[in-house]
Amino acid sequence: MSRLMLVMGAAPILAPSIGGLFLAFGSWRPIFWFSAAYAVISATLVWRLLPETLPPERRLRLGPAAMLLRYIAVLRERGFYSHVAMGCAAMFLMFAYVGGSAAVFVGQYGLAPSTFAILFGVNAAGFIVGSQCNPPLLLRFGPRRLVRGACWVVLAAALVMAAQAFLGVPHWLGLLAPVFVMMFASALVLPNAAVGALSRHANQAGAASALMGTLQFTVAGCSGVLLSQLADGTARPMAALILAGALALVLAERLRPAPAAGRAR
């Protein structure tokens, strides 16, 4: 799951770096041509090379009403919605950074797009490193302690970022360290939140996974809408939304059901 979250999380984080490199050599138009070509190639590969892995005897054909009942049943389980809430909060604050960082580093601090691409890649490395550190840290601390600690680290980084944004950071380097720490800790939260959400729904893992992904990316998309409404040419809107997501993350973690007796805490 850590490797899966690495791909799902690193892709939207690394994409702005690639876009910044495109802008270093031309206008914004080639970005959309590249995206269109990439989509066509991906769709062709899925169509021709990605087989169905579920045996025919285990496949189900469910109508809209039956699917809706499955989603409702999944949502009524506390362990699912509390873990999904953690994933939603983590995605919200990460996409607040993804959506607002260009306006801050390029617009406010005047960095060149190529420099911003490198900077964005450095922060993306925090997510990549965190994803790969997750398995050994799980063995050392256990999922509950690790996720709780990671949530508080995210909140601490968000508080530092917000303080610098509202007090006025004289240089963009002041934001680099808290963003890197936030990305690292978020990579410890997302895969464990996904495992916690899906662990009780093995018989309907497809429905649970689809519902989890839809909710997380819907909430993440809301950060872009809020950024567009709050934008004032400074780092304050981005930092405020990241802090709001971090607070929601800590609250969602507190709502998780206690582990069953006899299980590792």
The pLDDT assigned to 244 comes to 96
* Termini Cα distance of the chain: 20
Q: Residue 246's closest CA among 125, 159, 134, 143?
A: 159
- The alpha carbon of 126 is separated from its chain's Cα centroid by a whole number of angstroms, namely 13
The pLDDT assigned to 261 comes to 44
Name the pTM for this structure.
0.82
Cα dihedral 102/104/110/111 (nearest 10): -50
Q: Within 13 Å of residue 66, how many CA atoms lie on the same side as its CB?
A: 5
- The answer to whether residues 130 and 8 touch, using CB atoms and an 8 Å cutoff, is no
**170 band by pLDDT with thresholds 50, 70 and 90:** low
Per-residue pLDDT tens digits for 212-239:
999 999 999 999 899 989 988 888 999 9
Q: Residue 101's closest CA among 9, 26, 8, 12?
A: 12
CA 151, CA 136: separation in Å to the nearest integer? Answer: 18
Does 9 score more than 70 pLDDT?
no
166-179 mean pLDDT: 82
CA 185, CA 192: separation in Å to the nearest integer? Answer: 12
One of 3.40.50.300, 1.10.10.10, 3.30.1950.10, 1.20.1250.20 is the CATH number of 2-41+64-254, namely 1.20.1250.20
The pLDDT assigned to 262 comes to 43
Domain boundaries along the sequence of the chain: 2-41+64-254
Residues across the chain:
265
The pLDDT assigned to 263 comes to 47
The tokens of 96 are what? Answer: 């607040």
- The answer to whether residues 208 and 120 touch, using CB atoms and an 8 Å cutoff, is no
The pLDDT assigned to 152 comes to 96
